[in-house]
Amino acid sequence: MAIERVGFVGLGIMGAPMAANLLKAGFQVTVWNRTPARMTPLLELGAIPAASPAEVASATQVSISCVTNSPDVEAVALGPAGIAEGAAPGHVYIDCSTIAPETARDVARRLHERGVTMLDAPVSGGDVGATAGTLAIMVGGESPVFDACLPVLQAMGKTIIHVGPSGAGQAVKLCNQVAGGLNLLAMAEAIALARAAGVDPARMIEVVSAGAAGSWMLSNLAPRAIRGDFAPGFMVDLMQKDLRLVLDEAARSHTPLPGSALVNQLFQVVQAQGRGADGTQAIVDAVRWLAARPGS
């Protein structure tokens, strides 16, 4: 059966443009957000408002959430007036948040008992990718459900990969955050060294980004950082949440991740300065403070 009616819960920096892209793709989209004012721009684009996640589910074939953490997903999916209360048998719930793999598996199991199938489908690409519809989406769950929902996912992302059973999407997202965090640190150290050597960091970024050391972080976030633009595409506080999930998962499997632990500590420096709502490019200041050079 073709999917025509899609719901979206959580209209933050990522969720709002993702929902907008579903509308642009021609889906009928029903939305809900804990802060109702955030629904207004989507309603102006043609979205339908709902009073709860349950109402979103009752009006749609597939519901999607993009919220902050594991407890939020549990509340949206299984809490009072949650997805499970409004979903008819056969409904599919897609969670695009970043949460613990074990939480994703548990929520999927509990929803299955109520006739609802779940895909854990965390995303990568930041606000830029969410707006452009070019997100990378890593999906855990049953293959036939993934295949059926692929047109929905394609409205929001460009690289969409089924990576395994329930929880696998979240495990891959944690791997993504390991690589992303270390790329942020590499970016910050390169900028620090350029400044210390008296080199214009903008020129350094221009040439290094074009070579073997180039990265998304260097191309997209480094220019913001050297301009002093710390507006969040992805907030430090959210990255720290993800890194805690990374380190918890690593502890369970006795996997040493010394680089990720260091990035976590550097972001704690940023948070200690009251800048947890800044974008992750703020790590450049943590490295700069370590150098303690006046005017650097």
Query: Read out DSSP for 2-71?
Result: ---EEEEE--STTHHHHHHHHHHTT-EEEEE-SSGGGGHHHHHTT-EE-SSHHHHHHT-SEEEE--SSHH
Distances, alpha carbon 265 to alpha carbons 60, 218, 260, in Å: 43, 21, 9
Joined together, the tokens standing for residue 55 give 């109402």
CB 225 within 8 A of CB 284: yes
Of the candidates 1, 6, 281, which has an alpha carbon nearest to the alpha carbon of residue 145? 1
Q: Tell me if residue 117 falls in helix, strand or coil.
A: strand
> What whole-number distance in Å separates Cα of residue 221 and Cα of residue 188?
10
User: For residue 128, what are the β-bridge partners?
Assistant: none
CB 120 within 8 A of CB 97: no
> What whole-number distance in Å separates Cα of residue 255 and Cα of residue 53?
37
Catalytic (active-site) positions: 173
What phi, psi does 30 have (nearest 5°)? -105, 135
Q: Which residue, chain included where needed, has tokens 């489908």? A: 121
Q: For 264-290, write each residue's pLDDT tens digit.
A: 999 999 999 999 999 999 999 999 999
Q: Is 200 exposed, middle or buried (0-12, 13-18, 19+ CB in 10 A)?
A: exposed
Strands (E), the chain: 5-9, 28-32, 48-49, 62-65, 92-95, 117-120, 123-124, 135-140, 157-164
Helices (H) and strands (E) in the chain, counts: 15, 9
Q: Which residue, chain included where needed, has tokens 């970016």? A: 187
Q: Give me the sign of the Cα torsion angle 29, 94, 50, 31.
A: negative
Residue 296: the pLDDT is 46
Q: Tell me if residue 90 falls in helix, strand or coil.
A: coil
**Which are the contacts of 27, defined by CB distance < 8 A and separation ≥ 6?**
3, 4, 5, 6, 152, 155
In this structure, the number of other CB atoms found within 10 A of the CB of residue 136 comes to 17
Q: For 11-31, write each residue's pLDDT tens digit.
A: 999 999 999 999 999 999 999
Report, as ranges of residue numbers, the positions in the chain whose pLDDT lies below 70.
1, 293-296
Residue 291: the pLDDT is 83
What phi, psi does 218 have (nearest 5°)? -65, -40
CB 83 within 8 A of CB 58: no
Residue 15: the pLDDT is 97
* Count of alpha carbons within 13 angstroms of residue 129, beta-carbon side: 18
Domains of the chain, earliest start first: 5-164 (3.40.50.720), 171-291 (1.10.1040.10)
